[in-house]
Amino acid sequence: MKDMDKLLAELAEDAASVRPAPHPYWLGLKLAAAGLAYLALLLAASGFRADLAAAASHPLYLAELTVLALIFFATALSGALLAFPDLHQKRMLALAPAGMFALLWLVILLAWQADHPPAPLPVHSYQCTLSIAGVALPPAMWTLLALRRYASTHYYWTGGVAVLSAFSLGALWLRLHEVNDSIRHVIEWHYLPMIAAGMLGVWLGKLLLRW
């Protein structure tokens, strides 16, 4: 018995202290703050669209920007919650991005109906998708790396949400930077690729977050 007590004492002394995981709200706040700082740097480098004051006079444009921001914050929080096996008993908050994404498409539908006569298409097309993807790459990487430190059992959803969060940040930047009022262009080259980005994130979640 003494030998067993001695062994237990030695094991206790050798055990490394484990740092407790942060609360998901705190983790989500850190992810959101990092994304906002990144967005501010991007806009400082690229500048805002030259006609921002005129564009901001259109309620549907402001609604689109607002919903994009809500998608970003909702996905940051959802990713933090999904990083924990029990979602901290906040399943509805973890599913909030689905509601925000549906709201975005409602705004886009209203903008489509209001686009009469249609605004002229810009001279570029797929370049917008490439720009958003390029801007989204760094936040997607740091979000996936941050979430990999936890024990998610929802790695498909976590990966999809992480990439959607980054893509929504890129889409928000481009809508603030690009002079473009064509809702058709925005649907084809901004928001339909967002669906593909989410599917890519699901695959990345299985690849990078599974344990």
Residue range 113-170, pLDDT digits in tens? 999 888 889 988 999 999 999 999 999 999 999 998 887 888 899 999 999 999 999 9
Residue 44 structure tokens = 């400082």
Query: Could you tell me the pLDDT band of residue 209, with boundaries at 50, 70 and 90?
Result: confident
Yes or no: say if 204 and 144 are a contact pair by the CB < 8 Å rule. Answer: yes
Average predicted confidence (pLDDT) for the chain: 90
Judged on CB neighbours under 10 Å (0-12, 13-18, 19+), 134 is: exposed
Residue 124 φ then ψ, to 5°: -100, 170
Question: Going by C-beta distance under 8 Å and a sequence separation of 6 or more, which residues neighbour residue 92?
Answer: none
Backbone angles phi, psi at 123, to 5 degrees: -75, -20
Tokens (6 digits) for 160: 């999809």
Q: How far apart are CA 27 and CA 81, in angstroms?
A: 9
51 backbone dihedrals φ, ψ, rounded to 5°: -105, 30
What pLDDT shows up at residue 210? Answer: 79
- Please answer whether residues 183 and 110 qualify as being in contact, where contact means their C-beta atoms are separated by less than 8 angstroms: no
Cβ proximity of 173 and 43 under 8 Å: yes
pTM over 0.85: yes
What is the pLDDT, as a whole number, of residue 143?
A: 95
CA distance 55 to 53: 6
User: Which residue type does 55 have?
Assistant: A
Residue 58: its pLDDT value, please? 94
Summarize pLDDT for 39-65 with one digit per residue, the tens: 999 999 999 999 999 999 999 999 999
Measured CA to CA in angstroms, residue 7 lies from 12, 15, 16, 17, 18 at distances of 9, 12, 16, 18, 21
Q: What share of the chain is helix, strand, coil (3-state, %, to 5)?
A: 75, 0, 25
